[in-house]
Structure 1
Amino acid sequence: MINEKLSPEQHEELLRALKTRFEKNMNRHKGFDWAKVQARLEDNTEKLWSLHEMEITSGEPDVVGHDEETGEYIFYDCSAESPKGRRSVCYDGEALKSRKEHKPKNSAIDMADTMGIELLTEEQYRELQKLGNFDTKTSSWVKTPSEIRKLGGAIFADFRYGNVFVYHNGAESYYGARGFRGSLRV
């Protein structure tokens, strides 16, 4: 992860966007208080850069949970469709290297690492879908179990016909309508 600092303007703009989204989508975090979330963000400013990266790639990060033990707030990408700035990527660096031609520019795992976030797991993806309908026209890579990845595959998910579907593909594949969603604990 690159540990970058935001300018004061970027810092304020990000907090304003996060607060507005938080207030518009209270169903995602019933009973949560923005002042407590903001205080946590201000105490962990190194995480703001990752949230900023989620924001500028059209992820629309929002609070979806709170870990009572650690005090951390959990952010997921909550854009209606897979984030535009993270599409047309294969699953990981190994898959990217294996492509002989027509290589995508990046991979989901490498981009997430650079951004300082984690890909959603299948379980987290299913939790997200309880908060709304996401990926009704796109799909998102999800963290793939190592036994599947060792065999050359990777998994992705979407929401169609009122259900979450989880599929497989070769890890080296990429599509214009497939990106990835991330999570960040602050």
Structure 2
Amino acid sequence: MSKNILSPQQNTELLGILKARFEHHTQRHAGINWPDVQRKLEAAPENLWTLNEMEFTGGEPDVVGFDDKTGEYIFFDCAAESPKGRRSICYDRTAWEARKEHKPENTAMDMATEMGVEILTEEQYRELQTLGNFDLKTSSWIKTPADIRKLGGAIFCDRRYNTVFTYHNGADSYYAARGFRGVLKV
């Protein structure tokens, strides 16, 4: 098996998990039919591998939309809190290398690349929050604009007091309750 291809049994198990989540959270994807999503997934095994990585790290990926222009289904990490398997990480490799001591094991940007996802933008994060209440106890790094990142900062979001907040921090910071959420287009 290729590194980024699941076995037939893994495919079946993952598709079962995704289908059950899809059927349980119909408000996230009104007007989208599971058989259409499944056909698209089965035609692109590398996307199933990425979704499996999202699932394995605690992201609970689910369909949140369809892009009419590209014909792609959009998956976001929909776990109630920032995925457990992606916490205690700084923003990117540059920030990691700048730390003199107590370096985290990984970075959000590196993990996202390894998994085959993009980190949610602020707009996508706010879109996610229209589908439910996420990050009530945790926070998630979001894609940071280059001008902020060039100055050493990075941004993250969470939901408190029924409001979505965007904050800043040094890109080299990391906390046990901060991870990142990914997006995959299939």
TM-score, scaled to structure 2: 0.98
> Which ranges in structure 2 are unaligned for 5 or more consecutive residues?
none
Matched, 1:179 2:183: no
Aligned-partner Cα distance in 1 for 2:139–2:164: 10
In the TM superposition, residue 12 of structure 1 has moved relative to its aligned partner by 0.7
In the TM superposition, residue 70 of structure 1 has moved relative to its aligned partner by 1.5
Aligned-partner Cα distance in 2 for 1:69–1:39: 19
Which residue of 2 is the match for residue 31 of structure 1? 31
In the TM superposition, residue 65 of structure 1 has moved relative to its aligned partner by 0.6
Q: CA RMSD in A?
A: 0.9
Which residue of 2 is the match for residue 147 of structure 1? 147
Aligned-partner Cα distance in 2 for 1:3–1:68: 31
**Aligned letter for 2:133?**
N
1:33-62 CA-partner distances (Å, limit 9, x unpaired): 000000111111111111000000000000
* Runs of 4+ in structure 1 over 6 Å off: none
Aligned-partner Cα distance in 1 for 2:73–2:127: 15
> Which ranges in structure 1 are unaligned for 5 or more consecutive residues?
none
In the TM superposition, residue 180 of structure 1 has moved relative to its aligned partner by 0.2
Aligned-partner Cα distance in 2 for 1:102–1:10: 36
Which residue of 2 is the match for residue 134 of structure 1? 134
Aligned-partner Cα distance in 2 for 1:152–1:103: 16
**Aligned letter for 1:145?**
P
Which residue of 2 is the match for residue 103 of structure 1? 103
In the TM superposition, residue 9 of structure 1 has moved relative to its aligned partner by 1.3
Aligned ranges for residues 75-94 of structure 1 at < 5 Å?
A: 75-94=75-94
Aligned-partner Cα distance in 1 for 2:101–2:13: 40
Residue aligned with 2:165, SS: strand
Which residue of 2 is the match for residue 43 of structure 1? 43
1:102-150 CA-partner distances (Å, limit 9, x unpaired): 0000000000000000000000000000000000000000000000000
Aligned-partner Cα distance in 2 for 1:12–1:97: 40
Which residue of 1 is the match for residue 7 of structure 2? 7
Is the 1:152–1:171 Cα contact (8 Å) retained in structure 2?
A: yes
Aligned-partner Cα distance in 2 for 1:93–1:12: 35
Is the 1:3–1:46 Cα contact (8 Å) retained in structure 2?
A: no
Aligned-partner Cα distance in 2 for 1:141–1:87: 10
Residue aligned with 2:79, SS: coil
Which residue of 2 is the match for residue 116 of structure 1? 116
Residue aligned with 1:66, SS: strand
Which residue of 1 is the match for residue 21 of structure 2? 21
**Aligned letter for 2:28?**
R
Number of aligned residues: 185
